[in-house]
Each structure stands twice: as structure tokens, then as C-alpha cells.
Structure 1
Amino acid sequence: MHAKKKPTKLTTTFIALLCISLLVSCNKDNTIIKHSTWTHYAGSPDQSKYFDGSEITKENVNQLEVAWSYPSEGGFNNFSPIIVDTTMYVLGKGNSLVALNVKTGKEIWIHANLRGLTRKGINYWESKDKKDKRLIFTLNNSLQAIDAVTGKSILTFGDDGYTDLRQGLDREPSSIRRVQAMMPGVIIDDLVILGSAPGEGYFSAPGYVRAYSAITGKLVWTFHTIPHPGEFGYDTWPKDAYKYIGGVNVWSEMSADVERGIVYLSLGSPTFDYYGGDRIGSNLFGNSLVALDVKTGKRLWHFQTVHHDLWDYDLSPAPQLITINKDGKKIDAVASATKHGYLFVFDRVTGEPVFPIEEKPFPASDVPGEEAWPTQPIPTLPSFMRHEVTKENINPYLSDSIKQMWYKRLDAAKTAQFTPPSDKYETIILPGPLGGANYGNTASNPEKGLVFVMSQEHPSIYQLSKVEPPKVDISADEAKRAKTMYDNTCKTCHGPNMEGGVGPTLKNMPQHIFYDEFKNIVLNGRGQMPGFVHVDEAMLASLYRFMGGNPRSFNFNRRGNEEETTLEGPVVASGGVKMREDEKRVAPMLDYPEGVEHPENRYTTGYGLEWESLMSPPWSYIVAYDLNKGEIRWKQPIGEDYEFVNGDKSKGAVIGAQRKSMVVTSTGILFATGKGGKLYAFDQETGKILWETTLSNESVAVPAMYTLDGKQYLVINATGTFARDSFDHSKEPGALPKGYVVYALPDNK
């Protein structure tokens, strides 16, 4: 057994010395960030989603109307537009990047068939003389660049036009099937800083954070999120853990203080999410907020929000960089909202907590080989959600028979916060791995000390079982579960009998796609299909068997064999740069390296997300924190749910906050999207709804905002599909097609 090791802390003196040095070296090269443009995912590198514009006010916001729209048929995407000067860049039909005129929505150029492009957005970089303008993105585990003016690939970038992101991850590169994150990176000066999404199963690759040159595509620095020997935090893991533990990655959002040259990482859980017998210790830098020097990648400070995570409580929402006035003192702070319902606030430079954080005891694990950490950090700031499922807070709209079933399950289960998953009984945990707060779910008014958090109350049900070798045959129970999964997730696009529809046919699919590639597509997405990162290994294997395949098979195709889509319009290029085939082909890592101490058995569980409607309302809402006072100023439900309450606005929507987001304006408005195609304008100070409308299609991305010739525009990606027919506003008279919808005030305002 490995002895427990306490989380290590950096001394205040050392932090101060580092930060003084940092300020001297970085301030001369960086300028204070401006919020009057939207050239970056979420607006700017600080990820505040804040926009400085004066035209749309609390008094006239209710006059907003559609100025223009751009259709993007063929399935939803969750791409966040960026706007540079008079050009908007969006993801369009046929997996294409499209440059649009921001005044009219007219296509300027189309770069088609970029299958495997990161789903949430891209980065923009320009040289100081503005002669070199680039769109930088990840595609099929590579980093590539396109000329933002011409739309053509830049072949001098990287090695013949691309950089292989599988390199440098302590694994044989050809064995890595998935590494690129679903999010764009952060651009600071001439560096693009990237997270990753290497998967959540045993032996996936580590999620090292890396910086690349935006000019050459070459690697500049690497931060080992699972420390190597001699590095800070190595003693919080078993020996050589970096050789077999994966994850600890920024799969979601990170933020940057451009003026100080600091990037703030929201790091996820180590693998495997729910069993850590092979990673005894606190596991730095898992589930940690980490501040790095942008120029060197050196750690400045960190705070671990969950020790030895067993609940998949990744840090995923963007850290918010704000200035607060506390007890008469102005503090530049960083606030990190979590999946498990807390807001942690630190001095942005020193890492010292602005509000006290207490280490509190929690239950031990009874699973063989497991050692749950005995305490967890709990902020004294009020939580934004509940933390336990009880009989009293079961959804009152459920039928009596279902409620009685749940009362019996609750009697037999354990439900307290931070109860470790067990192989002997169910643990019913609130929140589950979807949150709470998740990606896109934070925003702020940086100068006023206001932080806005979207949240949902979605529990999970866990029960561990031993990992067994994948089976070839599928049992009746497995087939039933796989069909339920297919019906809930796949049927809308692929048809009730897998015969195809919006998406391609899946009949005889296993004859053309081996399990390895199938797994990569489901988890990471392809084309218009999004990634479903929370489908566990057992369900992936069951789905594949349900479709007639053998999950023991592998393949090594990096490009896929789909036919290209022919598009009309100003197409300037098709596909990414041609990538070389691997000379050496190695199957994914399947077992511990020779000589590494490890437990006799490994354990797994599903994500237990099927009961999204278990809790009593409100199910989803926005919470406004006033961090000058350390209190919640207001809380408002968002979204509409027709299944239970027929649009009662006081309840919010089941899973309404997931894939939703906000824009904060300098005029005191908070724009937010909600389930059911809802778009709101709230008063930042009071939470009062100033305006609301219903989109023709669901919105599943971060909105954007820009100003042109003094006129202010709000951009909504409305390409989502409604979950139920009763939500479907796309069939109503005057409905717009799926696409990007741009709102503005009428010209005669």
C-alpha cells in the first residue's frame, strides 16, 4: 500500500518573490485587456464574456430584433463565433469554417470538410503589424492554421502544415486515439496555450498543458499536470504514476491575465474517475486551479479543490478575473466555480484565499485498495446548490410509483456529500459529473466584482464493479440498456432503426469502423456530431455490440473514410492539411507498465446520469455573486420545461444550464440562454428579466457581441435540436432555420 501524503502548499514568501519577478518581466510586453471586441472564445482571454458597449441599455433592450441570420443545417454544433474587424468566423454545414460579413451575413469564403475540428471554437492571432492574420485550431489530434483573410491552410505552420499533438505525452504517440480538447486554447502574445481531452478511461494519456508558437507551430513549453520525478507534487502520487495515470487535463476552459502574463488552468480529474486504488495520495494537480507564468509555463501557485477525486468533479468553468473591494481594500481576484456547487476565490497574484476555506472530514472508502482522502476543502462563501438527495427533495411531479421506487433506493443507498462510490451499494450523489456548474457556465462584470454562475441540479447513481475483459456477445439486459442509450442519444440523427437521417446510416457500421475508432468518434465527435465525453467504457462496448461489432478489435485510421461534402458558395479549400500515416502502429495502453505496483483489481461504474429529473425544482438557474460583500445577490431560474410544469418560469428547466452561456454588458445587462430555446436579458443588479424571446432552435454555445459603426449586435448560435416535440419551436410560423441569429436594435430606435 502507498502511504497517504498531505497536499503540499507553496509558501507565501516564495509566491511573492515569484510574482514580483513575473510583473517586472511581463508588464512591459503586454497591454491591459480590452472588452470592446470579440476576437477570442468567450470574448477575450480572461473569459469574462464581458462586452463594453453603450448602445443596448436596460431601457431599450426590449426592442431587440433579428438583424440577419446565417443558416447552418445538418445537425447542431456548439461553436462559439469570433469577430475580427468586419468578419465573423463560424462553423457551417459540411464541417466548414466560414467567414461572414458582419453587417450582412454574406459569405466571404468557405473552407470546407474540416472533419474532426474542435467543436467549441477556434483561436485568432495576428502579428503586431496586422499583416499576418491566422485562425488556429485543432483537428484530428493536430494543431493547424488557416489564413484568416484567404481561408487557405498555412503549409509553413508546424511540420508541413500541422503539429502532432500526440507527441510528448509519455505514451507511444500512435497508441493515443484522442488528445485534442473540445475547446480552443488561449492566445497570449505569440503563444497559443492548449489543454487536451485524452479520455477518461484507465491508461488514457496525461493531460499536459502545452504552449505552441502561433507563428511556427512549434512546442515552446510543457506543464506536467501529473508531475515527473523531482517536480513539485510528485510525492502526492505513487512512484511513476505519470507512466500510467491519465487525465488531469484542461478539457474545458482556461483564463488569462494578459497584463500580468498569468494563465489560470481549470484542471480535471485523474483517471479513473471513480476509483483511485492505483493513485493513492492527494494527486496534484488533479482538480486544481493552477496559475502559470505564460512565458515559461512555470507554476506560480495552485489550489486543489478536491483531493484524490472519486466523483469526476473536474474544474471546467472558466476562472473569472475580477476586481473586488473587500473591507476597504481593492483586490484583483480570480473566482473558480465548480461542478460540486462551490465558488472558490483567491488573490490573483499570491493565490491566498480571499474568503476562508475550511478542510472538513468526510467518509472513508470501503472498496479494496482504495483510500479516500479524509478531508475536503469547503469555502465559507455560500454554495449555489444543494448537496444531498433526500426523500424531501425528490421531484414532486414524478408519479407515485416512481417516487416509491426512489424512497426504497434511498433507504438502501448512501447519499451524503463526498461519499466514495462503493461496490457494495449504490451511492446517489448530488451533483453528478455534469454539475453544478460546467463549461460556459461562468461570466463576470470584472470591475464591479459580480460573478454569474449557471447551474443545474443533476444527481448521479454509482455502484462500482470489477473491470472485466470486453465480451464479444451481448446479453439481453445489455442490449436493452444500449437501446435505451441509442434512443435517447443517437436516434434523432441516425434514425429509429439505425437506417440514417440527418446522420449517416449505422447499419453494418462495425464492418467499416473498428471499436477503437468507434470509441473515439462517440467520445470526441466527428463532423456535425458532438462528442459525448460521459459515455463510460462499459456502455461504449455495449453500444458497439448492439450494432453488431466486436469491441476487441482496433484500427489505426487517423483520417476516417467519410466522403467529402460538396458545398455551394465561395469555397477556397477543402479538408485540413494532409497528415502522414504512422510508421509505427501500437494499440492503446491496456495494462500497467512492468514493475509498477498496482492493486489486484480495477473497478468501474457508469456515470449514472439517466435520472436528470430526480430533484425537485428549480432544476436550473443563474446565481449572481457580489464578491465585494461575499454574498449571493440574486438567483433566477432559467429555461422552460414542458414535461412537468408546462413552462412555469419559477421552476427552470431540467438540465437547462448544460451547454448554455451568457454575455455581460457594461450597461448592466446579463444576456443568457436557457433550455427550450430561451434567450433572456436580466438586470445584473437585481436579476429582473428585462426582455426574453424564444429562438426557433436550441442554443448550445457561448453567444458573442460586437459593434460596427456604432451599432451593437448580439450573436446566438441556434443550431441545436429540441429534446421533445413539445419544445419544438422550429415548426412554428416564421421560424428561422438552424443557424446563427444576430440581434440588434432597429435603425429608428
Structure 2
Amino acid sequence: MHLKYPFTKIYIFVLVVLSAVQTGCQTDLPSSENTTWTHYGGSPGQSKFFNASEINKENVDQLEVAWVYPTEEQMPNFFSPIVVDTTMYLVGKNSSLIAINLHTREEIWIHANLTGITKRGINYWESEDKNDRRLLLTVNNSLQAIDAVTGESIQSFGKNGYVDLRQGLDRDPTSIRRIQPMMPGVIYDDLVIMGSAPGENYFSAPGHIRAYHVVTGELMWTFHTIPQPGEYGYETWPKDAYKYVGGVNAWSEISVDVEKGIAYLPLGSPTYDYYGADRVGSNLFGNSLVALDARTGERLWHFQTVHHDLWDYDLSPAPQLLTINKDGKTIDAVAVATKHGFMFVFDRVTGEPVFPIEEKAFPPSEMPGEEAWPTQPIPSLPNFTRNEVTVETLNPYFSDSVREVWIQRLGEAKSGLYVPPSDQYETIMMPGALGGANFGNTASDPASGIMYVQTQEHASIYKLNKVEPPKIDLSENEVLRVMNLYDNTCKSCHGVDMSGGVGPSLLNVGQHMIYDEFKSIVINGKGQMPGFIHVDEETLKALYRYLGGNPRTFNFRRNIETKTPEGPVVATGGVEILPDENRASPMSEYPEGVDHPADRYTTDYGLDWPGLAAPPWSSLVAYDLNKGTIKWRRPIGQDSLYVQGDPSKGAPGGVLRKGMVITSSGLVFATAKGGKLYALDADDGEIVWETTLSHEVNGQPSMFLLDGKQYLVVNASSNFARDSYDHSKKAGALPKGYVVFALPKK
């Protein structure tokens, strides 16, 4: 057991006060709680729990589509709607924010063309007298506020109507190309607590956690996730690391215990993810669960789940706040599931592990300058994934020829938990970069102590390569490499002729985008586009030239043409974001005078063979945290990637970044790959109802009550990855959109 905080006098005083509050609190959920869905995960605790019983085990098989709000957009829509009273807020119609009257199902207002909005969700806040109701959202690295009643931007928020999220990170703000989070923040009182998604490249921005006043936009506090001189944890890094290391960010769901005033941060890996010679040490607060005073941002306690991460094992799912009964003792606990399949459980106030955690030894790194941490924390709870790929566990659907290739590759590679990446051989990690448990993949019944995890067992194959200095002149052969890159990486989204498809057109994109911005988007990703960190500078420049640009010139970006959608449009584009007067290039070298390794190494995410091991590849797992056991496990989803024979039958698998809703009537609603929507019995995991949606789901479902009737909302507006189960082409298919389910009218 390793407690990770110092017992200062101030902290002991806070601990005593919080413990007194804890003792006097009701542990069961009052009936008035969890009956709304005004946050991404239903409530600030992100439990995805809903207190309603109209839909139950006996009648759930009668669920039917009540109505659909269509989106009909080319780009996938991952938004998770929220509901306030009789209004639903969602994104559709070319990245417009839309308010829907749930009684009439008509649009109240449309704030059009919010290009660059965080696609997964927004925050809602209201004053005590409800005279001030506002939506907090991030757009193009800015935090903005929109009047929830009128749909118009609130110009008094921040400076000129917005907060520049690039400010306050101890880097030149104009050099930061990506910082806004993939997910909404979390509301606590009159604060919105924000994470970030700065990317995973060398020299990405740091992922410091910040809280802003919801009315004024004023920065109220900052928690340095990469400690600076004099701060706790600074000694776990090289002395100048805070000047160049990035990441250590909360890119997913932050959970808040509103009664105790504690925010729980699931923090990600430091950059660079797979080679850490420039960040020797354990690297606090990377890969840590951190408890902060939500009002001040002061650290209360933390636990690091991976020391000196070399495997991209971010903490990404929401920490779950549960009350458990262990050995006759009632404990307010916080539990976090990891990308590598472990479950950690702590006392919510003290940080004391509820179940033992042991530091175990693992192999050293063979890479120059690299110092893999000699031990890693292993919890005593059963893990929910496999951690190795062997010949015996290879996918049985492989053909004989493919199987023989993999038998040879496995013989030359290394696989197993915490095997450090190498440039001499492949390391096969299970799970890989996609989890395990990823964002949106945890939920709970807070009062019962039962926690649910959607897990994905996809391997990643890594091999480090030295980053070579870029060349100035490009040959024809190197241009051919660009075409190979486009065919293998870009074509499926941007089209065979670059004119667009799932993604936008790239024709002549180099004529209206400067090279630095183009490079940042390719490497770090933007919006729903993932980053491709493995692409070298030489190929990037060739690709940029192929798309009509010149890396040596600075072309000013043209305005993107937008269309005003039909309907009650009240505003368009949010507030005007003022351009930078002197825009700096993204940081690409270590600061002058800073000691650093002679070479850098990178690898891609190794996702070419996600179904390397035998199925099931995805499951829903229920933990009974009162006993510290797995209560049940149920394979879910459809994935025909490696199935021979009839592809329509598929094989269980494919949860990536889906969601759940847990009900007080004992149901677990879960989405999964292939447009699957399930209702499972919370007691034993039996599927009591399922349906197949016409389009893929990549957002968190929501639930609400209207005039006493219970509704489930699922955003089914993403395209299917493979035609083998493209249900949108079948007779009677629903349009892309938000599908609302309910029981039949009596």
C-alpha cells in the first residue's frame, strides 16, 4: 500500500472537517436525485445513473421508437444531448447548437455554424433564481457562453465574449494549435472545471486543470499537472521538464462529489507517450487519480496508477463515486478503471486504498537513455482484460497463412504487461492504445456499490523508430511515399479523389492553411480526426505540397464557406475570435540551455491488427465493489473484421468509446459496435432487450422524464466502419439522428 500525499496540518484539518460531513450524510440516494440529465454523464458524479422505474425488466421489451430528430450530415456526430426541464440541447445541422421543445419536438432556436465546437457535449448552469441560464461550450480553443433561453452568445463572458484557453499554460499562446478538451467540463457551484486535449506529440502543451467562473469567465484556479519548481511532485521530473513536457491532461470526464466539494481528475500520460528519456522519473501527476478541492484547486490526495508511463495508459474513464459496504463498514469510495484492465478503489476523502495494492517489479528498458520505472502498482481486484497475446490465444478466425505469419512474429516479439517499447523488436501490448476502458466506458449504481465497465481487448503493436532530421528538398520517390500515406491513412475519410466523404474535401487545402497549422492537425488531430504522430516531417511537407501548399511560405487561411440551416436561426458562429497578431510556430525543439537526449523516438499506435487475440473483443463487466469481485461479464457488440464465412453473423466485440445508462429499476442500457443497443439485467447481465440501429452510436446516451414518462435518447448518427453491417442501407432504416425510445402509450 502506498499513500501518495503528505499529512500537513492544513490537510489534516480539511480531512477532519470532511470526515465529519461524511459521517453525517445520508449514504442512500434521495429519490429527488438523478432524475435529470443536465450533465454529460447525467450528474456531476458522471455515474450515468437515472432514478426512474417506468421502464423495467418486465416491460423493457416493449420499447419502441417514439421519434427521431434527424441530423443528415456527412461528418460523424458524437454529441451527447442534455435535457433541462422540457428542453433538449443537441448539435446538428452543420455543427449548430439546437434547442428542442420536448412537448412539441420542434426547434426553439438554432445557433448555427459553430465550426470547431467540441462535438461530445456542453455544460449547463443556472443561477439559484433561474433568471440566468447559460450553456458553456468550447469552440476553436475558446470557452464561450450562450444564453440557454435565447440561443445568443453572451458577450459579457470573458474578454470580447470568450476565454482563450491557450492562455495561462506557460507557453507562447500563439504557438498552441490544440488545447480545447474532447469532452465538456464539469460544473461545480459557479465554476466550470476544464480539462484539455493538447495532443500527444513531443512538446505538446501541458494539460493543467483550470476552473473558470461561469458568469464572468474569470480564471479562478489552476492545478499544474506537471509540477513547477517548489510544487509537490516537482522532484519526480528532470528539473526543466515543465518547460517542454506536455500532456498529463484530463481529456475525458472529470467527476465531482458536490456534497464534499471534491473534484476527481483522471489524468493521462506525459508526452512523449512511448519514449521518456527526456522525463526520467516517476512523472507525477501523469496517469494519476487526483482529488482536488473543487473550490480552490488545492490537491487533497492522489494515486499514480502507472509510473513513468511508456504505453499510453491514460486514465480516461470517469472516476465513479460509490458507497460500498466492506466488512461491515460503510465507505464513500471512488473507483477508477484503467486502459490496461485494472480496477483501483479508494476512500473518497482520505485516498486510502479500499483493496490492497502491491508494487511489483517489471523489466527494464533497453532503449538509450530510457529508465523504465522498476515497479508498477497492481491492485488485488480481478482485472477485466487479458494482458498478453500468445500463440494459444491468437484469433482462431485467422487463415492458416495469416496464423503462420503471426506465430513467427510472436516468436520474435515480446508481449506482456509493462514490456517497454524497443527499436529492436515489436512489443505487443494487450490492451493497446484504445483500452481496456476508455472514456464513456464506466458507470455505476452509486448507492449499491456496483460499477459497470465497457471493455475492449484490442492489441497494439509498437516498434520505436528514431526521428530523423527533416530534409529540405524532396524527391519524386518521397512524393510516392505521400500517396502511400494517403491511401493507407486518409482515403477512407477524405475520399479517393480527396473531394471528401466522411471527412471534408482536401482539394487545394494547402492554399488556405499555413504549413504549421496543417502539420499540427495531422500530428495532433482536430475535432473527430485522430492524430497521426508517426508521420515524419519529410512526408508531411511533401503531402502539404501535394495539397497545393508551400511549406516555406505563409498563406493566410481563407474564410470557410458555411450554410445557414433552415429553422429558427438566432445567431451564427459564436463570438468573433480575434486573430493572433504575431503567430508563433508550434514548439518543435527543447528550450535553449535545457539538457535533453540526443535522439527522439516515436511509434504509431499499432492498430493494424485490433482483433489479434481471440474474441470476445468487447464485453460489459459488472463489479461488486462491496465484495471486490466481478459479478458478471457479458460480450457485446458486433465486429466481423476477422470472421470467415457469413459476415452478417459477426463476432462479439467493438465497444470503443460508447456509453451506458443505469436505471434504478435494475436495467443497464449499453451501446456497442454495429449500432447495437442493449438492455441488460443488472443482477446477472442477461440481455432482456436489444435492437440494431440504422447508424453507429459514438455518443453517451441520455435519459429524461417528461410529464412522468421515461425516455431514452441515443445519438445514432455516425457511419459504420464496414459495409458488412451497414444497417443504414436496409429497408425501413431510420435517418441519421437522435433516436428517442419510450414505452407505447397506454
Aligned ranges 1:532-551 → 2 under 5 Å: 532-533=530-531, 535-538=532-535, 542=539, 545-546=542-543, 548=546
Name the residue aligned to 2:34.
35
Question: What is the deviation of 1:17?
Answer: 3.1
2:611, 2:642 within 8 Å by CA — same for their partners in 1? no
- Distance in 1, matches of 2:23 and 2:512, equals 54
Q: CA deviation at 1:433?
A: 1.2
Deviation string, structure 1 residues 351-389 (Cα, Å, up to 9, x no partner): 000000110000001111110000000011000010011
Render the CA deviation track for 1:384-440: whole Å, top value 9, x for unaligned.
010011111111101111111111111111112101111111111111111111000
The answer to whether 1:732 aligns with 2:724 is: no
Matched residue, 2:43: 44
Aligned to 1:19: 15
* 2:54 aligned partner, one-letter code: E
Match of 2:133 in 1: 133
Q: Match for 1:696 among 683, 694, 697?
A: 694
Query: C-alpha distance in 1, partners of 2:608/2:630?
Result: 30
Per the alignment, residue 179 of structure 2 pairs with: 179
Report SS of the residue matched to 1:622: strand
Local SS of the residue matching 2:392:
helix
Give, in whole Å, the separation in 2 of the partners of 1:129 and 1:556: 50
Change (3 A) 1:566 1:524: farther
Letter in 2 for 1:444: S
Give RMSD over aligned pairs.
2.6
The 1:165/1:712 distance shift into structure 2, 3 A limit, reads same
Question: 1:519 and 1:411, CA in 2 relative to 1: closer, same or farther beyond 3 A?
Answer: same
Q: Residue 607 of structure 2 corresponds to which residue in structure 1?
A: 609
State whether residues 316 and 439 of structure 1, in contact with CA within 8 Å, keep that contact through their aligned partners in structure 2. yes
User: How many Å apart are 1:289 and its aligned residue?
Assistant: 0.1
Name the amino acid aligned to 2:42: G
For residues 472-492 of structure 1, the C-alpha deviation after alignment (integer angstroms, 9 at most, x for no partner) is 677899878866764566445
CA separation in 2, counterparts of 1:476 and 1:312?
35
SS in 2 for 1:719: strand
**2:196·2:251 contact (CA, 8 Å) conserved in 1?**
yes
Q: Deviations 1:168-211 (Å, cap 9, x if unpaired)?
A: 11101101111111000000100000001111111111100000
Q: Distance in 2 between matches of 1:242 and 1:321?
A: 31
The aligned counterpart of 1:3 is: none
The 1:523/1:151 distance shift into structure 2, 3 A limit, reads: farther
Report if aligned partners of 1:206, 1:247 keep a CA contact under 8 Å in 2. yes
Q: Which moved more, 1:69-78 or 1:131-140?
A: 69-78
Q: Distance in 2 between matches of 1:383 and 1:480?
A: 45
How many residue pairs were aligned? 737
| One-letter code aligned to 2:533 | D
- Match of residue 83 from structure 1: 83
Structure 1 segment 109-148 matched on structure 2, within 5 A: 109-148=109-148
Equivalent of 1:685 in 671, 683, 686 = 683
CA change 1:522–1:740 in 2 (3 A) is farther
Which amino acid in 2 is paired with 1:195? Answer: G
Distance in 2, Cα, partners of 1:313 & 1:430: 11
Kindly provide the CA deviation profile for residues 93-124 of structure 1, in whole angstroms up to 9, marking residues without a partner as x.
21100101123431111000101111210000
Q: CA deviation at 1:537?
A: 4.2
1:326 is matched with 326
Amino acid at match of 1:628: N
Q: 1:133 to 1:263 in 2, by over 3 A?
A: same
C-alpha separation in 1, matches of 2:735 and 2:523: 28
Is 465-474 or 50-59 further displaced after alignment? 465-474
Cα distance in 1 for residues equivalent to 2:198 and 2:285: 16
The 1:426/1:95 distance shift into structure 2, 3 A limit, reads: same
Residues 109, 387 of structure 1: alpha-carbon distance in 2 compared, 3 angstrom cutoff: same
User: Does the CA-based 8 Å contact 1:637-1:649 persist in structure 2?
Assistant: no
Query: Where do residues 69-468 of structure 1 align in structure 2 (5 Å cutoff)?
Result: 69-74=68-73, 75-468=75-468
Residues 577 and 598 (structure 1 numbering): CA distance in 2 closer, same or farther, change over 3 Å?
Answer: same
Q: Give the residue type in structure 2 aligned to 1:49.
A: K
* Partners of 1:499 and 1:507 within 8 A in 2: yes
Structure 1 gap segments, 5+ residues each? 1-5
Counterpart in 2 of 1:590?
Answer: 588
- Comparing 104-113 with 643-652, greater Cα deviation is found at 643-652
Answering whether residue 701 of structure 2 is matched by residue 672 of structure 1, we say: no
Rounded to whole Å, the distance in 2 between the matches of 1:69 and 1:167 is 40
CA distance in 2 between counterparts of 1:476 and 1:443 reads: 52
**Take 2:641 and 2:477, find their aligned partners in 1: how far apart are those partners?**
28
Q: Distance in 1 between matches of 2:347 and 2:207?
A: 26
CA distance in 2, matches of 1:560, 1:688: 54
The correspondence of residues 617-656 of structure 1 with structure 2, limited to 5 A, is: 617-645=615-643, 646=646, 651-653=651-653, 656=654
Q: Measure the CA separation in 1 of the matches of 2:484 and 2:389.
A: 24
Structure 1 residue 88 displacement after superposition? 0.3
Bigger shift: residues 658-667 or 28-37: 28-37
Which whole-Å CA distance do the structure 2 matches of 1:577 and 1:146 have between them? 10
Deviation at 1:125, TM superposition (A): 0.5
Residue identity in the other structure for 1:39: T
Could you say if the C-alpha distance between residues 482 and 66 of structure 1 is closer, same or farther in structure 2, counting changes exceeding 3 Å?
farther
* Equivalent position to 2:716, from 691, 715, 718: 718
Structure-2 residue corresponding to 1:10: 6
1:472/1:551 contact within 8 Å kept: no
Q: Determine the C-alpha separation between the residues in 2 that align with 1:330 and 1:78.
A: 38
**Within 2, Cα distance between the matches of 1:488 and 1:681?**
37
- Quick check: 1:22–1:293 contact (8 Å CA) kept in 2? no
Distance in 1 between the 2:669 and 2:410 partners?
38
Q: Aligned equivalents of 2:724 and 2:328: distance in 1?
A: 52
Corresponding letter in the other structure for 1:66: V
CA shift, 1:536, in A, is: 1.4
**Offset of residue 25 of structure 1:** 9.6
* Change in 2 beyond 3 A, CA 1:626/1:556: farther
Name the aligned partner's letter for residue 733 of structure 1: A
- 1:393 aligns to what SS in structure 2? coil
**Is the alpha carbon distance of 1:241 and 1:383 closer, same or farther for their aligned partners in structure 2, counting shifts above 3 Å?**
same
**Residue in structure 1 matched with residue 67 of structure 2 by the alignment:** 68
Instruction: Give the Cα–Cα distance (whole angstroms) in 1 for the partners of residues 679 and 237 of structure 2.
Output: 47
Q: Gapped runs of 5+ residues in structure 2?
A: none
Sequence identity percentage = 64
Return closer, same or farther for 1:440/1:484 CA change in 2, 3 Å cut-off.
farther
Structure 1 residues 543 and 696: alpha-carbon distance in aligned structure 2, compared to 1, 3 A threshold: farther
What TM-score comes out, normalization by structure 1 length?
A: 0.94
Seen in structure 2, the aligned counterparts of structure 1 residues 471 and 123 have a Cα distance that, compared at 3 Å, is: farther
Q: Secondary structure at the match of 2:662?
A: strand
Using a 3 Å threshold, how does the CA distance of structure 1 residues 449 and 506 change in structure 2: closer, same or farther?
A: same
Q: Is the 8 A contact 2:290 2:301 kept in 1?
A: yes
8 Å Cα contact 1:236/1:282 also seen in 2:
yes
Which stretch has the larger CA shift, 28-37 or 727-736?
28-37
Q: Is the 8 A contact 1:441 1:660 kept in 2?
A: yes
1:28-81: CA deviation from partner (whole Å, max 9, x where unpaired) = 999989210000001011000000012101100000001111011112111110
